[in-house]
Amino acid sequence: MAPLSPRLDVRGFVCAPVEPSTPTLSFSIAPGGCLALLGDRAADLSRLLDTLAGHLPCVAGQILLDGRDVAARPAGSRGLGLFSARDPLFAHLTVRRNLAFPLEARGLARPAVAARMDTVLALLGLDGQAARRPHALAPQDEWRARLGRLLVFAPSVLLLDDPFAGLEREDRLAMRRLLARVARAQGLTLLLATGDRDDALLLGDAIGVLSGRALLQVGSAAELFDRPACDRVATRFGDANALTGRVAWVEDDLASVHLASGARVEAMAGQGVDADMLCTLCVRPDRIATLFPTGRAAADDEDEDTLPAVLAGLHHMGDHIRLRFRLEDGQEVLVRRPPAQNLTGLVPGRTARLAWPPAHAVAFPFRGEMG
């Protein structure tokens, strides 16, 4: 079976302002899919979606909607609907009138407007709130009404700019579930821009990790966790520890690394890694084994492939235990353990040795200056 053509296909895209090293963006979304863009700068995410929607000029590139380039079309006629906390409901209008506004602005006849509003109000559970004004709505109902105002004119793609901003935790969880349910029921195509990894993991079929305006990698959650393209993806998305070292040798896909602390460890060699170069070794907290030797075992256990460390802190986080270790050079390493682990005798200052299988760590070319 042939793959579906993209509903949204963005190619070589650049939005203003243009800086000397402004990167281009390219990505695509299949019909009914959700691409979550996980970024570290909210302003860049908002600027990207504003430009796609037509509220800011597109400097370069194509915005293909079902194969047609809509980059030159004005906002409102591209088939891309923007949902943002920056666009509140009209305070003087009821929920029903707020939902009717975009349809009336497009010149739809009253019967068509009424039918579409009734459908969306029922879909979002707003039937009983239709006659209320925004100030009388609970946060969840206000959020549903803003989403309904977007859904009434059925855009081909929903552009979601940090859609849960301003919501308390329980409201955020509930609206995240609602959005997922409505998207599945209606076959909606979504582009989600967020700084919250949980949003990206729970809603995105694919996730794109950005650093500023640069798209580092697009893939499934499993690909980003297990096969990050660079150290920034490993640390930003996978919460990996990042340790500085020098590559001793590379054989096939395996690298031997001398860390700044003096220890030697092994890891998979990332793209571009070669012998005698500085590297950043990334290993996730849940992939590190810990050994707390005692007595003669502490003196005898000098395996060069393990990392000597001192326990600097321990915190029970509910669903896991977080252990913070300090290496001989002062760098810190985080380790996660299941909450059922026996904590007896684990106090700050306890010596330990850390280890991991080579397949659970990746060495990437070093960026920046030492230290």
Class of domain 240-365: mainly beta
CB 193 within 8 A of CB 27: no
Give mean pLDDT, residues 157-171: 96
Distance CA 28, CA 65 (A): 10
Q: Which residues pair with 364 in a beta bridge?
A: 280
How many angstroms separate the CA atoms of 227 and 41, rounded? 24
How many other CB atoms are there within 10 angstroms of residue 136's CB atom? 12
pLDDT, one tens digit per residue, over 273-330 is 999 999 999 999 999 999 988 765 444 555 567 899 999 999 988 888 999 999 998 9
Judge: domain 8-226, CATH 1.10.1370.30: no
Contact indicator for 152, 85 with CB cutoff of 8 Å: no
CB 61 within 8 Å of CB 48: no
- What is the rounded average pLDDT of the residues 67-78? 93
In whole numbers, what is the pLDDT of the chain averaged over residues? 91
Whole-number pLDDT of residue 370? 41
Please tell me the number of Cα atoms within 13 Å of 362 on its side-chain side: 20
pLDDT of residue 123: 94
Q: Give the model's pLDDT for residue 108.
A: 85
The domain locations on the chain are 8-226, 240-365
**Parallel, antiparallel, or unpaired for β 264-269 and 361-365?**
parallel
- For the question of whether the overall pTM of this predicted structure is more than 0.95, the answer is no
Integer CA distances (angstroms), 213 to 40, 81, 199, 336, in order: 9, 22, 19, 31
Q: Give pLDDT, residue 371.
A: 37
Q: Could you tell me the pLDDT band of residue 349, with boundaries at 50, 70 and 90? A: very high
**Between helices 95-105 and 110-123, what is the axis angle to 10°?**
130
